[in-house]
Amino acid sequence: MKKLLLPLLFLLYINTVSAQIKHSITKSLVTFQIKNLGVYTNGSFSGVKGDIDFDPAHLDASSIEASVDVITINTGNDSRDDHLKSDSYFDAAKYPKMTIRSVSFKHKSGNNFTGVFSLTIKDKTNQVELPFIYVDNGSTATFKGSLKIDRTDYGVGGSSLIMSADVNISINVEADKRIPSK
């Protein structure tokens, strides 16, 4: 009996660890802020798509991969949006998506986590650290985080004396969650 119990407990453990919580994105918003001519300009990207397999109890097995279409940029000014989509900035025709892919996660405290992600913009990839809050609401979950990047690391906008290199980005994702059946 003991010889049978140990393998069954091991299988149960493996099944529990691999039963990641899958999240289906239902609502998302990526906002940014940059200083240009001494004034802050705000904008957003919408329609984040991705695969979220996140379980706070199993961070080593968790992963997040998401993308957003560059053409969804909205600064409230159509002319500026068109200019930002051009090859001088995001080059949306050649690089239609920005992507983020998790490398690792750490639990900080409570609902606070930090993720290391590979961020790709215009075919340039850099690792970024993204602190975020994960809130489990039963059948749904929210992910909220923010970070600062240097736009010149991604070849966005070139060098400029009037536009800041620093861009503040906030990410807000709401998702349905389900534990896949085995």
Tell me the two tokens of residue 96: 């239609």
pLDDT in tens, 131-178: 999 999 989 999 999 999 999 999 999 888 899 999 999 999 999 987
Higher-pLDDT residue of 7, 122: 122
Q: Reply yes or no on whether the pLDDT at 96 is more than 60.
A: yes
Mean pLDDT of 51-62: 95
Distance separating alpha carbons of residues 135 and 141, to the nearest angstrom: 5
Q: Reply yes or no on whether the pLDDT at 2 is more than 60.
A: no
CATH topology of domain 30-178: Lipocalin (2.40.128)
Where b means 16+ CB within 10 Å and e means fewer, 8-28 reads eeeeeeeeeeeebbbbebeeb
Decide: 87 and 96 in contact? Cβ < 8 Å: no
pLDDT computed for residue 122 by the predictor: 97
Tell me the two tokens of residue 65: 């991969």
Q: Reply yes or no on whether the pLDDT at 45 is more than 90.
A: yes
Percent of the chain with pLDDT over 90: 79
Q: Among all chains, which residue has been given the structure tokens 């489990």?
A: 136
Tell me the two tokens of residue 125: 């990839």
pTM score of the predicted model: 0.84
Q: Domains of the chain: which residue ranges?
A: 30-178
Per mean pLDDT, which range of 15-24, 97-106, 113-122 is the poorest?
15-24
pLDDT computed for residue 51 by the predictor: 93
pLDDT computed for residue 14 by the predictor: 40
- How many beta carbons lie within 10 A of that of residue 132, not counting itself? 21
Spatial CA neighbour of 80 closest among 29, 36, 124: 36
Q: Residue 120 in 3-state DSSP? A: strand
Q: Given pLDDT bands bounded at 50, 70 and 90, which one contains residue 180?
A: low
> 3-state secondary structure string, 16-61?
HHHCCCEEEEEEEEEEEEEEECCEEEEEEECCCEEEEECCCCCHHH
pLDDT in tens, 9-43: 343 344 434 446 788 899 999 999 999 999 999 99
- Mean pLDDT (the chain, rounded): 89
Tell me the two tokens of residue 178: 């389900």
pLDDT computed for residue 6 by the predictor: 40
